Amino acid sequence: MQKRTLGSGGLEVSAIGFGCMGMSWSYGPPKDKQAMTTLLHQAVERGVTFFDTAEVYGPFLNEELVGEGLSPFRGQVVIATKFGWKANPADGGKWNALDSRPEHIKQVAEASLKRLQVDAIDLFYQHRVDLEVPIEDVAGAVKELIQEGKVKHFGLSEASAQTIRRAHAVQPVAALQSEYSLFWREPEATVMPAIEELGIGFVPFSPLGKGFLTGKIDEKTSFDSTDFRSSVPRFSPENRKANQALVQVVTSFAERKKVTPAQIALAWLLAKKSWIVPIPGTTKLARLEENLGAADVELTSEEVRALEEASSMVEIHGARYPKSHQQLVGR
């Protein structure tokens, strides 16, 4: 597995990381702990050194799984986690309220260190921008944690270019994590010019379009009530049917290259910039191996351009988030 560097602080990770969220949360019920632990080990054995989790995934379940599962590999892997959410008493205790107050960030760091079973958090992201707390205060709190040796690198998620610049001026940002794929290319216009200028890495989540770009989802697919895609406008049956046109574009390129649609989607991201590290998630070994195989798929600049031209001709139907969450991104 090739390595890539995120940010100017020398954070070296595998070219393809592993998004762990779906093992415990958001894509249906939590999966079997022993099976997921085995899969984490198999990922390390295949060269993955970059694993992504967050306290809110569960909450806590995913950090506990990742911390315990990766404990035999301390010093060999990079674990990223996130702060910024809290339980909302006004909504039955659901974790849908933001809280990036410095004192809360420090409390979360201490708790995450214990769950992850590490002495320092490799990469600590603000999960969503909290407009109630100046981003300079957020960056300052993480800077103090870095000075204390409890955090190594600072990250942001789904932040705007302006917010990234303000944070970076206080504490260098190693990575921005945001949704980015052939299914959602807005970051190319909104944040990528800024992070390239500032020397910040980019970690695309949902690089396979929440599974859509694999070609395994169509209008007949049914989602469990605990699968968040059941509430996403882009994944309504009629929109899934309309958006199949994009899958057909990706599939046609995959057939020409004799690879899978998922591998084309990931190879496209890897070909875009040397500082992009996608983090596809899975709960199956076969899918893990398929995803990692994308690192061996080389796309020429001409192929990248042709793929982009063909995909940009497809009109994508449906918003990528429900309205309640849409207002929390790009702030």
Cα–Cα distance, 24 to 60 (Å, whole number): 9
Where do we find the tokens 């060999």? Answer: 76
Amino acid residing at 223:
F
Amino acid residing at 268:
W
Q: Which residues pair with 175 in a beta bridge?
A: 155, 201
Alpha-carbon radius of gyration of the chain: 19
Given 27, 57, 125, 180, which residue is catalytic?
57
Cα–Cα distance, 253 to 259 (Å, whole number): 9
Cα–Cα distance, 162 to 298 (Å, whole number): 34
CA-to-CA dists, residue 195 to 162, 174, 280, 283, angstroms: 11, 10, 21, 31
Residue ranges in 148-260 assigned as alpha helix (H): 161-170, 187-190, 192-198, 237-257
User: What is the three-class DSSP state of 172?
Assistant: coil
27 in active site: no
**Among candidates 103, 98, 155, which has minimal Cα distance to 126?**
155
Cβ atoms < 10 Å from Cβ of 37: 18
CB 180 within 8 A of CB 187: yes
Cα–Cα distance, 212 to 320 (Å, whole number): 12
CB 129 within 8 A of CB 158: yes
245 sits in which H/E element: helix 237-257
DSSP code of 53? Answer: -
Catalytic positions, written as ranges: 57
